[in-house]
Structure 1
Amino acid sequence: MKKIRYQRFLLVILLLVFTLNFNSCTDDLEKTPVNIITADKQFNNIDGYKQGLVSIYSNLAYSTFLRFYWSMQEYSTDMAVSTWNDGGDGVYHELAWSADSPAITNVYNAAINMITLCNNYVKEASAGSVNSRGFSNTEAAQIEQFQAEARFLRAYCFWILMDCYGNPPFPTEQTLGTTPPSQIQRADLFVFLEEELKTIEPLLADARTNERGRPDKAAAWALLSRMYLNAKTYTGKEYYTEAISYSSKIIDQGYALESKYEWLMLGDNNLNTNEFIFTINYDNTNQTWFSTNFLALGPAGIPGSINGMSSSWNAFRFTQQIPALFPTVDPSVDKRALFYTNGQNLEVNSITTSTDGYSAYKYRNKDRDGNPIEQNNNFGNLSDIDFPVFRLAEIYLTYAEAVLRGGAGGSRAMAVNYVNQIRGRAYANDPSSTAGNIISSNLTLDFILDERARELYWEAHRRTDLIRHNKLTTGDYLWAWKGNVEGGRAVDDKYNLFPIPTADLLANPNLDQIEGF
């Protein structure tokens, strides 16, 4: 089913000229389109709207977005160091970036480009535009859902800008083709996103009913729950009660943990419909290196016999602080400890030495039976692994942390129950097992931070988690080469954010730099 469905994504190739029309930067807005696919031609039938939406999903999946966002979230922490300065590890891991660092522009530009695509679609799918094109009521309702999905993707990208850059530019469908966008303050963007997600919620498909890789109501609730958990960072105000409420909404929809942790990041993880809430989907029939390839091939030392593809790029490894969070580096106890140690040293004495630091084979392009996924491309070495943006285990951990932080509407007993389901799977391939159980007194904020590291490693959460726990820049927690010192050191708190790139400051007079940069 997955491969048949993804043949549709080949339509994107035919849409590239159309996409380029509104993928420009602010200094390119006055250029006249040179292609013949105008908006009226593109959107004069329901298939045109479907194809336009496909182009947005394809841009999310097959642009540089995921790889660079992952680099920003993981290399800036204890989760990863890179042999090849992949994605800017040199400034990320040292916590030493500036507005002129090329690495920080990667995610910024990718998010802005996605927002621009979504803005154009939101405009063309507005009630006025749809009515003027003579669509039936049934077709108009379908287009309204498509528009809600584009608005969700836009909200997700704005959340990334809010989380990473603080006060980003704020382009909307109203500002397309006009003056450079104004800047929005972080707390104001939080309010906008909260209102936007609540507005589109009734327009999205019911939870667990949409086509895989397309957001539904549960995806909107998941983004809200993540925002609420981190709201004190963004606004200075606590929203832990809301985090519990929206986590509970998702849990009540019948999601369940998959029985085996090792199934989560396999080439047939499209089967994980019990746990996955929203995913960025990949299929090796789409011939691009910008996929989850880097997550299967990047970990140092992993042979092709394990990752299901080819030998390792020797790109990244953990600092020694991550294996120390597990009872053993062998998955005989905690089955999440998928560490690769053969030929690897535990301690990172040199960031650029590929054998310094253990890696992991969490991402493998194999099926549940251990067979490599059949390659249907000219490269013969591309990934089928979907990337879960939201999955149930994160929601359980959000609920538990929000309870610990004083949110109302939940209970400590239920928080312990959710954590023990995660640990039951980890220790016995059975969420109902008591093998890894903790008791109520074990459930602390430090425990939750460590459990998130054990459960969600290399899923692009760590930087945000450390900031929420006040441990990214401070001396409360040190790791190898934090602040460019082998034993780690505290750094300036300004590195809790990334600056707006100098190029955009020069191009847009409406933007001010954040303090310290």
Structure 2
Amino acid sequence: MKTRFKINKTIGFIFLFIVSLTSCTDDLNITPKDDQTTLSEELFTSEAAYKQVLAGIYANLALTGTDGAGSSNLKNIDAGTSQFGRVLLYVQSLSADEMIWSYENDPGTREIQRNIWTAQNPLLLGMFSRAHLSVALANNFLRETTDAKLDARNVSAATRSQITTYRAEARLMRAMAYYYMMDIFGKANFATEEDAINSIPAVYDRAQLFTFIENELKDIDADLVAPRQNEYGRADKAVAYMILAKMYLNAQVYIATDRYADCITYCDKITDGGYSLATNYLHNFMADNNTNSATNEIIFPIVSDGSTTQNYGPTTVMINGEVGSLEENGTALGVSEAGWGGALRIRKQLANLFGSAFANDTRNTIISANRPIEITDISDKDTGYVITKYSNAKSTGGFGIDQTFVDTDFPLFRLADVYLMYAEAHLRGGGGTQTKALGYVNALRTRANNTNTISSAGLTLDFILDERARELHWEAHRRQDLIRYNKFTGGNYNWTWKGNGSNGISLPTYFNLYPIPTASMAANPNLTQNTGY
């Protein structure tokens, strides 16, 4: 069993790292506000500090501040609008046909789920800023681990060999942040450790980001740990392969170039890495998904701990939000009985993908009794179906340690997605084999206890899009998928409350990118607004 990366034991160091970055992060439109800590040479008197500071880069995906779940280390940005996994879920899933958030007074949510966002939306500022903080943290780590710095500190040969891997991981985390910026905003403030700290950063567009990320991930391959050989919660070669595979699958969107064959290549690299599907689909979304059979499937998680890393991240939000206003089913989910009183429901388009053929499919966690499928009034929490995909329960019995802040890690990347990417890339002409593509899809159905496996004739692109929703809903993929299929904007496919129409209306094509936050442009004169906003 893989050991777990001890992010929880490094909290005292994680945000030491941040305050010293004021000038660096100002360049990236981020102003840390914690004035209680400093970073100095004293920190590195212990060689253990290098791993602890590396942990800070990972922790930025889960934590928002040093003073509890409600604190934020980003100036003028609330914790609830800047937790990485949560805002990623909002921009990728809440904006599409998968979920509805009942409490539209919560900052930014109304505009995201009705597709009426503007450059002033606080969730977009949170996404932009948190991703850039990942870049800043990685850059500073790389500056602090140069050969010259290590020589000056007389760092031992043993630690230096580890730092080689640490540096590769930092570069991977930076590349991942740029990947999400490329996908969501189409551009980013761009800086590496080579840039002067006080310089105004350049702005890279999608093509430039694509080239940088691709080259960077390939360049660090030799220094990354082999798939499934790193501590749980730390990145390895498979995480880099996953980002490349997803870039290549979406390359027509990003750079107007067919890279499906490369997607197949990197899907194969991942499947050759020793991964296997969890024995039970729901193991991927339970409180012990860091120790149950999901560890064979999850390629990279955002770690959640109900005791030592409390945060309002995606799994805390979804599990508390899954508790229905009528059902009050929180006890079974491992949170308080009433949860958050019906905060989350599903739009009927997702519900309709689970017809009678999916009655016994373990991916179908829909509760529909006593509820209409339609949501004509978003504030009416008694309408629309609810689901129970995520839980704070353990596969072995019992629950997470806390009834609000869950122990359930968010599976950012997992093997099932690789299977479906392979099948789609194959159908789009990327090569591979029909036999393997069909086997992957049917393996997911078999794992879900669904006897309705498909034949070659049923393996179509439209089928894959629907199957991705059935397998991967509420995992922050849907917006990207719909854009790739030309169904997010325009009127080819409408869903409940798309474009602020109760039955959905067409969206302009420029909505395939989010606007650059106004505050971000004010901080960097090189940033310009995306077309249409």
What TM-score, normalized to structure 2?
Answer: 0.90
Match of 1:304 in 2: 330
Match of 2:496 in 1: 480
Match of 1:269 in 2: 289
Contact 1:207 1:253 in 2 (8 A): yes
Say how many residue pairs are matched: 504
1:34-91 deviation digits (Å, cap 9, x = unpaired): 7784442223442110110122222211221111111111111011111113562321
1:354-378 deviation digits (Å, cap 9, x = unpaired): 2221121111111113422344xxx
Matched letter for residue 321 of structure 1: Q
CA distance in 2, matches of 1:132, 1:363: 49
What pairs with 1:213-362 in structure 2 (closer than 5 Å)? 213-270=233-290, 271=292, 272-286=294-308, 288-291=310-313, 292-301=315-324, 303-310=329-336, 311-313=338-340, 314-328=342-356, 332-362=359-389
What SS does the corresponding residue of 1:168 show, helix, strand or coil? strand
What SS does the corresponding residue of 2:60 show, helix, strand or coil? helix
Match of 1:468 in 2: 484
CA, structure 1 residues 337+285, in 2 after alignment: closer, same or farther (shift >3 Å)? same
Match of 1:73 in 2: 92
CA, structure 1 residues 201+416, in 2 after alignment: closer, same or farther (shift >3 Å)? same
* Alignment RMSD: 2.3
- Once the two structures are TM-superposed, the CA of residue 124 in structure 1 deviates from its matched residue by 1.1
CA distance in 1, matches of 2:214, 2:318: 31
CA distance in 2, matches of 1:29, 1:222: 28
Contact 2:321 2:344 in 1 (8 A): yes
Identical pairs, percent: 38
- Once the two structures are TM-superposed, the CA of residue 306 in structure 1 deviates from its matched residue by 1.9
CA, structure 1 residues 32+448, in 2 after alignment: closer, same or farther (shift >3 Å)? closer
CA, structure 1 residues 32+221, in 2 after alignment: closer, same or farther (shift >3 Å)? closer
What pairs with 1:407-446 in structure 2 (closer than 5 Å)? 407-408=430-431, 410-428=432-450, 435-446=451-462
- Once the two structures are TM-superposed, the CA of residue 8 in structure 1 deviates from its matched residue by 5.3
Match of 1:183 among 203, 207, 211: 203
Give 5+ residue unaligned stretches, structure 2. 65-82
CA distance in 1, matches of 2:507, 2:372: 27
CA distance in 2, matches of 1:8, 1:104: 26
What SS does the corresponding residue of 2:295 show, helix, strand or coil? coil
What SS does the corresponding residue of 1:309 show, helix, strand or coil? coil
Match of 1:456 in 2: 472
Match of 1:9 in 2: 8
Match of 2:510 among 490, 494, 501: 494
CA, structure 1 residues 321+208, in 2 after alignment: closer, same or farther (shift >3 Å)? same
CA, structure 1 residues 486+240, in 2 after alignment: closer, same or farther (shift >3 Å)? same
What TM-score, normalized to structure 1?
Answer: 0.92
1:314-372 deviation digits (Å, cap 9, x = unpaired): 2221111101111249x642221101224432111112222221121111111113422
- Once the two structures are TM-superposed, the CA of residue 6 in structure 1 deviates from its matched residue by 6.6
What SS does the corresponding residue of 1:175 show, helix, strand or coil? coil
CA, structure 1 residues 438+282, in 2 after alignment: closer, same or farther (shift >3 Å)? same
Matched letter for residue 335 of structure 2: M
CA distance in 1, matches of 2:39, 2:392: 40
Contact 2:190 2:204 in 1 (8 A): yes
1:173 is aligned to 2:193: yes
CA, structure 1 residues 29+326, in 2 after alignment: closer, same or farther (shift >3 Å)? closer
- Once the two structures are TM-superposed, the CA of residue 113 in structure 1 deviates from its matched residue by 1.3
